[in-house]
Amino acid sequence: MAKKIAIGIDIGGTGIKGALVDVKNGEMIGDRVRVETPEGGSTDDIIATVKALIKKLPAAPADTPIGICFPAVVQHGVTKSAANISKKWIGFDADKAFTKALNREVHLVNDADAAGLAEMRFGAGRAERGLVIMTTLGTGIGTALFFDQKLIPNAELGHIEIDGVDYESMAAFSAKEREDLSWQQWAERLQKYYSTLQRLFSPDMIIVGGGVSKQHEEFLPLLDIDCEIVPAEMRNNAGILGAARLAFRLANKD
């Protein structure tokens, strides 16, 4: 039986990563490839860079679907916002443009949604029912919502207003670095953020991702949340795996 495979691409403000993925097991086939995001992050330059990156991946059939996770709200393949990339992406039919340029089926998804899809399928949330909130702590706070394993797309819960401010400006990992906060000081802000999510949504589980999740022992034990709160398991490959899995599922109705 042929392997269930797809290509996963993770587009960020500074780097673009990609891999061929076994979407049944959530494993990369061969090495992950990373290139720099072209300066300015224009639509044409990023599409050309992704096209060149794919040529560096292990050989795959010409009809292998491609999933791309992207730092934007993505609605029906159209990018509705843009973070750390060109504003030309706003209102851009990215699915159509990538599909035409790469000559195969391409599906875009919000980056936090892709990370959440990987965690729900292969990682910390794989056995969880009910309401799960995935959060990614980095430059901002990305979020993804799942109910009984089904994605509710484009949940921008990092932008919840607390104390009169967009609270990702206070609680993202970038705030800890910018203000040189101790783990305890940062945890106090995270406590306020996650307590607000708990009060508004009553989740069964919260998954905490982003690069800092590798150091979860430093801050998760400091939080007192009335639901299970756990570190993500897929780490920096979550976006690639989730985007690939989604593309395969949409292409094959699997």
Q: List domains and CATH numbers for the chain.
A: 5-113+237-252 (3.30.420.40), 126-233 (3.30.420.40)
CA 219 distance to own-chain centroid:
21
Asked whether 67 and 105 are in contact (CB, 8 A), the reply is no
pLDDT band (50, 70, 90) for residue 121: very high
The reported pLDDT for the residue numbered 2 is 63
Asked whether 126 and 241 are in contact (CB, 8 A), the reply is no
pLDDT digits (tens, 9 = 90+) for 181-198: 999 999 999 999 999 999
Asked whether 6 and 67 are in contact (CB, 8 A), the reply is yes
pLDDT digits (tens, 9 = 90+) for 60-92: 999 999 999 999 999 999 999 987 789 999 999
CA atoms of 211 and 198, how far apart (whole Å): 23
Encoded amino acid at 196, one letter: T
